[in-house]
Amino acid sequence: MTLHINESEVRQLLTMPIAIDAVEDISRKQGQGNVLVHPRRRFELGGGGFFHLMAAFDKEAGFVASKQYTYVKGKLCFLVTLFSATTGELLALIEADYLGRQRTGAASGVATKYLARQNATSAAIIGTGGQAKTQLEALAAVRKITAARAYGRDAQRRAQFCEEMSRRLNIPVTPANSAAEAAQGADIISTATTSPRPVLAASDLSAGIHINAIGANHAHKQELEAAAVAKANLIFVDSLEQSKQEAGDLIIPFQQQRQRWNDVHELAQLVIGQVPGRTSDSQITLFKSNGIAAWDLAVAVKVFHLAKENGLGRDLPFYSSLG
């Protein structure tokens, strides 16, 4: 039987600490060469719509997952399929909007754990959507964040975001009138926007700051101006292969200096200690996140097991006539 797990059930089961542990664990396996990652592929559906597909294989645990999703008329529909690599069985179909937000936030949490200053206490969030919420939640899970500022273009949405996150995290989250104002004095910045043009400038970055840039996963889009990227002393990504295809934040400024890719490393290498992270409190560190299927796989496995333990989901009789 295949277990169908819906959005409501994923929300019941998946906490940020669980997601962070899952992403850190799969990153460790990835660094050790025990995870295969198939980069995202996308094609146009016409009328501005897209279909996306990505996949990963955890050789050690014996699970394979794919994520497929559409973007049509402003709406995203996500689905993760989880298979056993041992039996070939389709174990689960998981509705994956919330799952995706959690795993993306968790990845920034892992990067922040390894790269932000240990004494970091203040955060800035650029963007006020669902992804921005899990970004801030993840930062608060790995550092003792005592205050945050948020900026988004819509003033009402910005105020609602700050009210909700202040209540959820029990810290003051205050609205800023610009990205520069939000970033002022922050120890950690996460950019989580859909903007095709830079929202963060080099002048917004103070010494010692850590940046998680999670938007702009198209080759022609940027959240960070080129000078801001140049200011970073250390740059990490989730997948070099995928970043060279779709990380506009790096592709565009590196066009005339392709050797700069030689100084970019994967988060998995950092997690296993293959490459060093921050070595001084004055360094500026950057994690450019595009989102890889290994994270979906890791979190989907957690959700699947928790659903089974808690009697959630419903069995679907896939392939029942093949026995």
pLDDT tens digit string along 129-138?
Answer: 999 999 999 9
Are the CB atoms for 36 and 57 separated by under 8 Å? yes
Average pLDDT over every residue of 149-166: 97
The reported pLDDT for the residue numbered 240 is 95
Helix (H) or strand (E) holding 37: strand 35-46
Q: For 80-97, b where at least 16 C-beta lie within 10 A, e where not — what string? A: bbbbeeeeeebbbbbbbb
The reported pLDDT for the residue numbered 322 is 56
For the chain, domains (ranges, CATH) are: 2-100+294-322 (3.30.1780.10), 118-291 (3.40.50.720)
If you search the block for the tokens 């797990």, which residue do you land on?
5
Average pLDDT over every residue of 97-117: 98
- Helices assigned H by DSSP within 232-283: 240-246, 248-251, 267-271
The reported pLDDT for the residue numbered 187 is 98
Nearest to 218 by CA among 202, 242, 238: 242
Question: How many percent of the chain have pLDDT more than 90?
Answer: 93
Edge-to-edge strand order for the sheet containing 188-191?
173-175, 147-151, 122-126, 188-191, 210-213, 285-288, 234-237, 264-266
Q: Which residues pair with 203 in a beta bridge?
A: none
Report d(CA 227, CA 136) in Å as an integer. Answer: 25
- pLDDT tens string 30-65: 999 999 999 999 999 989 999 999 999 999 999 999
Compute the mean pLDDT over every residue in the chain, rounded to the nearest whole number: 96
Which is more confident, 256 or 184?
A: 184
To 10 degrees, what angle do helices 155-169 and 130-142 make? 30
If you search the block for the tokens 């819509």, which residue do you land on?
154
Output the CA–CA distances (angstroms, integers) from residue 317 to 2, 84, 95, 307, in the order listed.
6, 16, 18, 17
Instruction: Provide CB contacts within 8 A for 69, sequence distance 6+.
Output: 51, 52, 76, 77, 78, 79, 96
If you search the block for the tokens 């989730």, which residue do you land on?
238
The reported pLDDT for the residue numbered 321 is 61
Q: Which amino acid is at 104?
A: T
Are the CB atoms for 186 and 145 separated by under 8 Å? no
Q: Which residues pair with 93 in a beta bridge?
A: 4, 81
Helix (H) or strand (E) holding 254: none
- pLDDT tens string 262-289: 999 999 999 999 999 999 999 999 999 9
Instruction: Provide CB contacts within 8 A for 314, sequence distance 6+.
Output: 3, 4
Average pLDDT over every residue of 152-166: 97
